[in-house]
Amino acid sequence: MINLLLSAGHGPTLNIEGYYFLDFIVFVGLLVYLLRKPIAEFVTARRERIVADMKEAQEMRAAAESKLLDYEGRLANLEQEIQQILNDARVAGEEERKRILAEASKTADRIRTDAVERLEQERRKLEQLLQTKVVDMAVNTAETLVKSSISTGDHSRFVDDYVSDLDAMQEGGR
Confidence of residue 32 (pLDDT cuts 50, 70, 90): confident
Count of domains observed in the chain = 1
Average of per-residue pLDDT across 117-143: 90
DSSP classification of residue 12: -
Q: Which residue range(s) make up the domain with 88?
A: 14-150
Tell me: pLDDT of 10 over 90.
no
Domain membership flag for residue 60? yes
Domain membership flag for residue 111? yes
Residue predicted with more confidence, 53 or 142: 53
Percent of the chain predicted with pLDDT > 90: 46
- 11 contacts: CB under 8 Å, gap ≥ 6: 2, 5
pLDDT given at position 173: 63
Residue type, 159: V
On whether the pTM is more than 0.75, the answer is no
Domain membership flag for residue 7? no
Tell me: pLDDT of 33 over 60.
yes
Domain membership flag for residue 168? no
Domain membership flag for residue 138? yes
Task: Report d(CA 97, CA 90) in Å as an integer.
Answer: 10
Using CB atoms within 10 A of its CB, is residue 78 exposed (0-12), middle (13-18) or buried (19+)? exposed
Domain membership flag for residue 166? no
Domain membership flag for residue 9? no
Spatial CA neighbour of 25 closest among 17, 36, 13: 17
Domain membership flag for residue 43? yes
C-alpha gyration radius of the chain: 66
